[in-house]
Structure formats: structure tokens, C-alpha cells
Amino acid sequence: MMTALFLLALLAVGLGCAYFKTSFLTWSIATAAVLLGFSIAGQPGWILLTLFWLLFLVIAIPLNHRPWRREFITGPVLKGFEKMTPQISETERIALEAGTVGFEGELFTGNPRWSRFIKKPLHELSTEEQAFLDGPVEELCGMINDWEFSHYRAGVSDEVWDHLRKNKYFGMIIPKEYGGLGFSAVAHRAVLEKVGGMSSQIGSIVAVPNSLGPAELLLHYGTEEQKNHYLPRLASGEEIPCFGLTSTTAGSDATSISDYGVVCKKKVDGKQVLGIKLNFEKRYITLAPCATVVGLAFRLYDPDGLIGETEDIGISVALLPADTPGMEIGRRHFPLNNPFPNGPIVGKDVFVPLDTLLGGVEHAGKGWRMLIESLSVGRAISLPSSTSGGAKSATLATGAYARIRKQFNLPIGRFEGVEEALARMAGHTYAISALSRQTASAVDDGEKPAVPGAIAKYHCTEQSRDIIKDAMDVHGGKGIILGPKNYLGRAWQGTPIWITVEGANILTRSMMIFGQGAIRCHPYVLKELEALKIEDDEERLKQFDKLLFAHIGHSISNAVRAFILGLSFARFAAVPGDRRTRKYYRKLSRYSAGFAYLADIIMLTYGGKLKQKEKISGRLGDVLSQLYICSAMLRRFEHEGRPAADQPILAWAFHDAIHKIQTAMRGVIDNYPIAWIRPFLRIVIFPLGRIERAPNDRLGHKVASLLLSPSETRDRLTRGVYKSDACGHWIGVMEKLLPDVIAAEPLERKMLKAQRNGQLKGYTSDEHIASALEQQVLTEKEAEFLAEVRERVMEIITVDDFELEELQAGISKTGEEIRNGDQKAA
């Protein structure tokens, strides 16, 4: 009995110190106190006590006596660490230093400070920004005719271009002192969300100048002369920018671009001019066909030492007018029948003066840093916001359509198969919206969220792909027949585009999210790598020793925390929240500890080879991503005042994410290379087994039902998208019809009952209603109302058809004819 008590006391001390992450000295004192207490009592026997005293002294003395620890432990570990750790290239170092670390760093600690996170308010729109959304953006959405733009024009109308210029859409991020709007990141997001929900073409046109483009680069790196010249022109739309990064031989590996420039002299107008001779072949460049100024990335060489002593200066950026002699620009790509302006830029022996270098000669060779820092901000806003708008529009439309469209005398939204799709759409839309707002708010906090930006880009585009797939399934034939009445087809066609641009999703998941996050966000790894650069041997050993044992304590603590929290359903975790949400924070605390521990084990096992283990890195990236998404959803829920009616959607999205975390962790453990360690990892991470389940059918039914009727929850879920029924906007038409369809359902039930009783005569809908009126099944007012609703429903569910000549020669129609025809149809 005493032996068991003795061992239990030692175990409790060890686990307690590890759980609360105490120092080695604290553990040593506590353990010594236990040993001393039992020694005084003479229990559980001198042989066992002596054995444990010896074991304790062998461990405690070297760990607490730092000179011995550094000589016998840290020194050999440092040598091994230097051998197994690859040298970080300049390119990788710049990428790691480009971003900042926000809440994602808390997830790597294994013990996030939830109260601090959720108490920090999300940024709101200013009065001026809200007025812009309610005025010019609402007006723009009313001007959008996606069928006209995509089928007949292969581009947007002059009317839209004029509106964009007049209202300074291209200058949202440009400060007012240069003539721009000076909007916040959340306002930038709100505009892209609303416009992107209407048209991906116009969404792209608005997004690019405010993302990775000359304006962003000029603001941070341009000379005063360049800023004063270009920024006012960009803000007013006098100049339309594009940015040429992707080349024929370099896509995702942007640093290997073959486009180059050579510093040289050339006689121009009788004068010797120092400049650059450029050769480049760019492709996939958005806005290139209509651009007037081109930002160009290329590798700069100075073989004659005209501007310095280095020959290979590195990646640089220049600003070139589109009419620069020798540059070919204007031709178009045609990405999946989505004709937003996108095309190649080619130049051969193009000579430009040296002052075209963005930021001047002093910024020559710093292009990669400039690009990666700008991209970390742009990636966090552009595609997440646009896809959030698309997801909201698709979810809004599908919920309404599923109530309006009936089969077997029931709204199709009442069928369980359709309910599954609707629940997924609602849950994913909630997650996407929360995530995109979280990253935009982080930008307004002054962050450059490189890792969250990658998370947002990947998961917003992936989940929006799932949403549009479900929307197409629910709509059936209505979704696949293109024409003025189709509001889904172009979004379905364009989905692979957003998966590909700004870093292909496969690369983003398998190499960037965890690959960068593991070093950049980990509390110790980057510091340990930096310690290796210390030239003084003694100081390097001292700093590395401090970091190494802090890192060891961190890993042990997270292993113990993961095990205890998993065993106790995280009831010991100190978390905020109410009765419903506290359990969510507890789960996240548990899996954050498990993730942090698993990340350390994987990095220790693979070292520098982790770069090549993309499947493992991708799964750990999934865990990090879902933890971050859950955090964003909870922050949104708290910010909105914990609306009880929204809780089913939050619950569905949360359980879906947690189940994905469990699946990803299982994949990491099952593929761990050392087989005999796998059972230990399973016990630590899943002490009670894999108990997480995907959202159940009952919860899915609740969530799907929320999409089928107007409510505050449905409004909050789809807030920010265009809902007007003006100009034949079919989603707005359905929204206006939806309450009347619901009001007509009791009348439809009366009609069905009368028909089954043989009371109704005739074959058509009108004949049935007339018969119902005659048989007093319906009153005159009810009959008129039902006839009107049925007529409006038929307008919704009908699809377009064309003469062959219309499809072959549609371009011969004028924009006015197209608009008049569409408005008549609506």
C-alpha cells in the first residue's frame, strides 16, 4: 500500500509540474520533498528509497548545475543539431521574416490565452466606409449583368469601368493624401465580399489593384517621386495597374524566374542613359490586357559593375508604362470561360531607365522581400473575402430555392439528402466568413499575417468549392443551364481558378501552412536557429542551452497536458465562455496541446527532411488550420453577442472542424516512421480513443431548416451580400418571393387535400385554382394570392433556351439590347 502511495506521490509531482510548466528547479525541490518525507517515515523500504534517491540525483544534479549541463548535455546536442539542421537559404529566411505572428503563435504554445483573444474586438466599418458600401457598391452591384459580361462582351461594360474609376475602387488602400479612399482592411474585405458575391470578374478587377500590385508596393517601398507620380493616378483610375510575377518556367517557385534584366548604357535621343535591358515572358497576369502600368519582377544582373560590385543582384521590381517600346501586352487568356482581364506580357531587349526600379537603386535585389511581405497581406484579404461573398450568395440562393422548388408535393429542402447539403453549406459559410474577417482584422491590427493568410487562402477557396458543388447538386438542371437566369454556373466554372492563383492550394497546404508556421510561429524553433548564428562559442552554447531546456520543458508539458486534458475531457482547462461554448474552448485547449506536442515530435524525427515530407506537413497544417478556424468562429460568436439562434450553425461547423483535426492527427500518428512509438503517441493524443464524431443528422436538420425561412440567423449568416431584386437579380427576386411562398404553403396543403378528395377539376394550375374557388376550398383573395405566387415560382424555376444563331453570334448584340431583354425576362 505504501509503495503504491509513494509511486503515486512521485507521479503526481511530476505530472503536476509538467502540466503547469514549472522550472526544473521547482520539480527538483518538489520531488526531493516527497522523497524526504517518505524517507523520514521509513516507508516504503530503504532499498526502494535509496534506488529512487540515486535516480533522482543522477537526473536533478546535471539538469540544475548549468556548467555540467552545458558540457555533458547541451554541447553534444548542439553539435548534432548543427548537423541535422539544414542551412536556411536567403529566400527562405526572407519568407520567414516577412510576416508577423499573431494568435496562431498561441496555438503552438499548447495553452492559448482564450480570454485575451476573444476580448480583443473585431474591427468595424467606419461611417464613411459603410456609406460607400450602401451607396457606390450597391449601385455597382445593380449594374452587373454577368451573362452580358461573360457571354456577349467577354469583359465588363464601359459603364462599369467608368463607375469604378469615378468612385476610386482602385484606390481603396491608397491614403487620402494621395487621392485614395484610405479604407481599412475590413472595409476592403466588405467591398470584395459584396462585389465578389455578384461577379468574380468584377471582383478580380477590384481586388488586384488593392492586393499584390504597384500601389501596395509603392506605399511601402516607392521613392517619394514615384509615390507622388503614380499613387494619385492609380487612385483615380487614370492608371490601371497589373503585376507580372509568374513566368513560363516559374509558377509556384517564383524565385526561379527566368525573366532578367542587365544593367547597361544606351544612347537615347543623343544622350548616354544608364538603364536596364529587360527580357521577360510573363503569363496569367490579371488586368494585363487593360493595364496602363506594369509592375515587373525579374532577376537583375550588373556584369560591368555599373551600380555596384555584385553581378547577380537578385530579384528586383520595376514599374513600366504599358506603351514602353518592345513590350507586347494586350492579348488575353481565357480562363475556364471566365473572361476577367488576364493575359501574357512579353518583352525582348526592352530598355528602360534605371529610375523605373521601384524604390530606386537602393532597393535593387530586394524584390523577393517586397513581394512576399505584400503577398502576406493581400493573400489574407483578396481571395478569402471574394470567396466568402460567393459562398454567402450561393448559400442564400440555395436555401431560398430549396424552399421554393417542390417535388413530390414537398419543398426539396425537406428531403434528408438535400438537408445534408444545406447543412454543409451553412456550416462552411459560417467558417469562411469568420476566417476572412479574422485575417482582415489582423491586418488592421498592424499584422502581416503570413501563416493565417495562407490558411485563409487555402480553406476559404477549398470550402467555397464544396459550397458551390452542393449548390449545384441542389439546383440540379437549373444550375447547369447557362443563361441570364443562371446565377451559379459561372461561379462553378471559375472555382478552379481561385484554387490555383496566389499559390496553388496543394503547395499552400503541403508546404506553406505548417512548413512556415512550424518555424515562424513556434515559441523556440526560430530562436534556436538564430542561436546557431552566434559566432562566440561560449555565448552560442549559453543561449542554446537556455532555449533547448525551455523547449524540452515545453514538449513535456504539452504531452502531459494533452494526456490529462484528453483523459478528463479538458475539465481542468481554464477557459472562458458560457454553458454552451465552454466545452468548445476546452476541446481546443486539449487539441492545441496535442498539436504542439505532435509538432515537436515530428520536427525532432525528421529535422531538415520535413520539407520533403509533404503529406505529414499537410496533415499538421490541417490541424493548425482547423484550430485557427475554430478560434475565428468562436471570436465571431462572442463578438456578435452569443446569439442563441446561431448556436446550431456554430455547433455544426465546430464539430466538423474538430472531427477533421482528429482525422489529421490520426493520419500523422499512423504514418509515423518508428512503429513502436505509435502506440505511445496514440495514448498521449487519444487516451480514450478517437471519440470525436462528425455533426449528427439531428444537428444537420436544425441547421438546414435555418436556411429555408427568413430569420435573423439567416440574415447574419449572409450579411454583406447584394440582395436587391432590381435589374433582374434573380437571387434578390427569390428573396422577395420566399416569404410569400411560405405564406402560400397552407393554401397548397388545402389544394392537395381537395385534390386527393376528388374535389378539383381540370388539368392545369389555373383550372385547379378556379375549381378550388368554385368549391369554396379557397376564398377569392386566397385564390388570387396562390395564382400569383405560382406564377412567380415558375419564373424562378424555368431555365433559358436559345436559337443556335444567338449562341454563335451573340457578340453582335449591343449591351442595351441584352439588358432590355434580361429585364423583360425578370
Cβ of 677: how many Cβ atoms within 10 Å? 13
Radius of gyration of the chain (CA): 31
β-strand partners of 321 = 293
State which amino acid sits at residue 141.
C
Cell of 763: 388539368
Instruction: Check residue 147 and report its DSSP letter.
Output: H
Backbone CA torsion sign across 35, 40, 41, 43:
positive
HSE-up of 197 (CA within 13 Å, CB side)? 32
Beta carbons within 10 angstroms of residue 345's beta carbon: 26
In order of 501, 648, 700, 781, the CA distances from 468 in angstroms are: 18, 22, 18, 39
Residues of the chain with pLDDT below 50 are 810-812, 814-815, 818-819, 821-826
pLDDT value, residue 84: 74
> Residue 428 burial (CB < 10 Å; 0-12/13-18/19+)?
buried
- Residues 708, 410: Cα–Cα separation, whole Å: 13
Q: What is the pLDDT of residue 824?
A: 43
Q: Are 619 and 667 in contact (CB under 8 A)?
A: yes
Q: Which of 9, 56, 14 is nearest to 556 (CA)?
A: 14
Q: Where are the alpha helices (DSSP H) in 353-415?
A: 367-404
Cell numbers representing residue 228 in the block: 507622388
Residue 446 vs residues 346, 441, 443, 688, 731: alpha-carbon distances, Å: 37, 9, 5, 42, 37
pLDDT at 86: 64
SS3 346: strand
Amino acid at 136: P
Amino acid 99 reads G
CB 342 within 8 A of CB 285: yes
User: Helix, strand, coil: what percent of the chain each, to 5?
Assistant: 65, 10, 25
CB atoms closer than 10 angstroms to residue 682: 17
What are the backbone angles phi and psi of residue 509, rounded to the nearest 5°? Answer: -70, -45
Query: What is the three-class DSSP state of 690?
Result: coil
CA 45 vs. chain centroid, Å, equals: 61
Determine if the peptide bond prior to 44 is cis (ω within 30°).
yes
* Number of neighbours of residue 738 by Cβ within 10 angstroms: 20
Beta-strand pair 293-301/260-268: parallel
Q: What is the pLDDT of residue 241?
A: 95
Decide: 306 and 264 in contact? Cβ < 8 Å: yes
Rounded Cα distance between 265 and 353, Å, is 9
Catalytic residue among 216, 373, 447, 502: 502
Q: What is the DSSP letter of 88?
A: P
* Beta-carbon count within 10 A of 57 CB: 13
Known catalytic residue at 159:
no
Sign of CA pseudo-dihedral 449, 451, 456, 457: positive
Distance, CA of 466 to CA of 421 (rounded, Å): 10
pLDDT of residue 206: 94
Q: What is the largest CA-CA distance in the chain?
A: 104
Looking at residue 90, what is its pLDDT?
A: 66
Report strand pairing: 342-353 vs 406-407: unpaired
d(CA 330, CA 325): 14
* 619 close to 668: Cβ distance less than 8 angstroms: yes
User: Vertex 560, ends 558 and 561: CA angle to 5°?
Assistant: 60
User: Closest Cα to residue 52, out of 19, 14, 78?
Assistant: 14
Name every residue whose Cβ is closer than 8 Å to that of residue 99 and which is 6 or more positions away in sequence.
373, 376, 447, 448, 449, 450, 451, 453, 516, 520
How far apart are the C-alpha atoms of 145 and 160, rounded to whole Å? 10
**Cα angle for residues 259, 170, 220 (degrees, 5° grid):** 60
Give the pLDDT score at 501: 86
Which residue intervals of 42-113 are DSSP H helices?
46-64, 66-69, 75-84, 90-98, 103-109
Amino acid at 129: E
* Phi, psi at 294, each rounded to 5°: -120, 125
Closest CA to 395 of 634, 159, 649, 573: 649
Integer Cα distance of 425 and 394 in angstroms: 8
C-alpha 797/C-alpha 435 separation (Å) is 33
Q: What is the dihedral of CA 128, 134, 135, 140, to 10 degrees?
A: 130
Q: Could you give the CA distance from residue 226 to residue 234 in angstroms, rounded to a whole number?
A: 12
pLDDT digits (tens, 9 = 90+) for 718-765: 999 999 998 789 999 999 999 999 999 999 999 999 989 988 888 999
Residue 816 pLDDT: 52
